[in-house]
A = this chain, B = another copy of it.
């Protein structure tokens, strides 16, 4: 219980259900003096917002955030920042059928069993709508990281069978898929149109990269930077896998191939994904996540109702056929939150207290 907070020094506590009154969060531990206002927050929120293209859910939410505290005359004060987004486009009738049935592949059954009660409207707390507040909190983290020269960006690196390599960051924001390879847009559109026709959904892969990261972030042995990134990224709805650097490819690698050799000018490769022994190396931090295909599809599925009887279910309503697309800004947010937390933790131990200074 009490699992709605992430981060030890830069911490984010969220609340809110898909069809409840509002979503909100408390961001605690933000350094003072950081420029912040609603307009800054809105940029990323708009990137995640539903209904931005025909390839995502058609729910219409303005996702307008209000800052309720922690900011004075345009700057953070170091006190806790409260934020709220009101829900405006609830259509609970869309979800009448799932009041009594458990959608296969969803959290309906597990919430019911865990709590003995559930807000069934749109999945309640288990809905990915909750991630709006993560994005808002992540943008605050990005604002702080920016002045340290750290930038966190993500792109869709695979959609179903279509691999999407990083060709150029520039293009990512210029298509509805956060795809970094402009030559693939047409194929993606065609695939998605067919998917919608099939009433089905598909999985995806998202890759997040932090650049400008200083060496030294991460607190071994348990709060290694990679371990906390794994926690943070795996906590995003629908994520089933996390890898750092070479990830699962390293299973078949030899040590002589995997190890990143060093020269006075820096590392010769980055199979480690920017983390060695749980501590950042100063290289780009590269993490990828596997997103499962959403279970909200119009293909009928076998399930049970809350009495335990066998039944079938078609999930109507407004859903994303590939939740991986909108996961791009969410993945950025989670990495930014975890990175900033570790910047602060690293500062704590080594600044103005230690008698020695890191060398080289």
A294 on the B face (CB < 8 A):
yes
CA distance A11 to B24 in the complex (A): 16
Given contacts A104-B261, A160-B252, A230-B230, contact A28 B9 (CB under 8 A): no
**Choice from B6, B16, B231, B349 contacting A31 with Cβ under 8 Å:** B349
7 residue pairs, one from A and one from B, having the closest CB atoms? A107-B277, A3-B219, A105-B259, A3-B223, A2-B29, A201-B255, A33-B356
User: A278 to nearest B CB, angstroms?
Assistant: 7
CA distance A341 to B80 in the complex (A): 20
- Once the chains bind, are B231 and A82 in contact (CB under 8 Å)? no
- Once the chains bind, are A125 and B354 in contact (CB under 8 Å)? no
- Once the chains bind, are B80 and A14 in contact (CB under 8 Å)? yes
- Once the chains bind, are A349 and B117 in contact (CB under 8 Å)? no
- Once the chains bind, are B353 and A148 in contact (CB under 8 Å)? yes
Which residues in B have their C-beta under 8 angstroms from that of A220?
Answer: 3-4, 79, 107, 125-126
- Once the chains bind, are A276 and B110 in contact (CB under 8 Å)? yes
A293 on the B face (CB < 8 A):
yes
Which residues in B have their C-beta under 8 angstroms from that of A14?
Answer: 26, 80, 221-222
CA distance A113 to B110 in the complex (A): 34
CA distance A111 to B205 in the complex (A): 32
- Once the chains bind, are A353 and B343 in contact (CB under 8 Å)? yes
User: A157 to nearest B CB, angstroms?
Assistant: 9
Chain A interface residue bracket vs B:
35 or more
Which residues in B have their C-beta under 8 angstroms from that of A165?
Answer: none
CA distance A282 to B109 in the complex (A): 11
Known: A6-B222, A240-B243. 17 other contacts (CB 8 A): A1-B10, A1-B348, A2-B11, A3-B218, A15-B80, A23-B68, A31-B353, A32-B354, A34-B355, A77-B118, A105-B255, A114-B358, A126-B220, A202-B254, A240-B250, A263-B304, A344-B349
User: A117 to nearest B CB, angstroms?
Assistant: 5
> What is the count of identical protomers in the complex?
4
- Once the chains bind, are B304 and A31 in contact (CB under 8 Å)? no
Q: Enumerate A14-49 residues with CB–CB distance to B below 8 Å.
A: 14-17, 20-26, 28-29, 31-35
Given contacts A2-B29, A15-B82, A116-B358, contact A109 B254 (CB under 8 A): no
- Once the chains bind, are A124 and B247 in contact (CB under 8 Å)? no
A95 on the B face (CB < 8 A):
no
- Once the chains bind, are A294 and B114 in contact (CB under 8 Å)? no
- Once the chains bind, are B222 and A277 in contact (CB under 8 Å)? no
Q: Which residue of B lies closest to A34 (CB)?
A: B355
Show 26 A/B contacts (Cβ-Cβ < 8 Å), sorted by A.
A4-B79, A14-B26, A14-B222, A15-B79, A16-B82, A21-B66, A32-B115, A32-B117, A72-B117, A75-B356, A78-B115, A78-B117, A110-B218, A112-B358, A112-B359, A114-B346, A116-B350, A116-B356, A116-B357, A226-B240, A240-B248, A247-B290, A250-B291, A255-B297, A263-B310, A307-B360
- Once the chains bind, are B11 and A5 in contact (CB under 8 Å)? yes
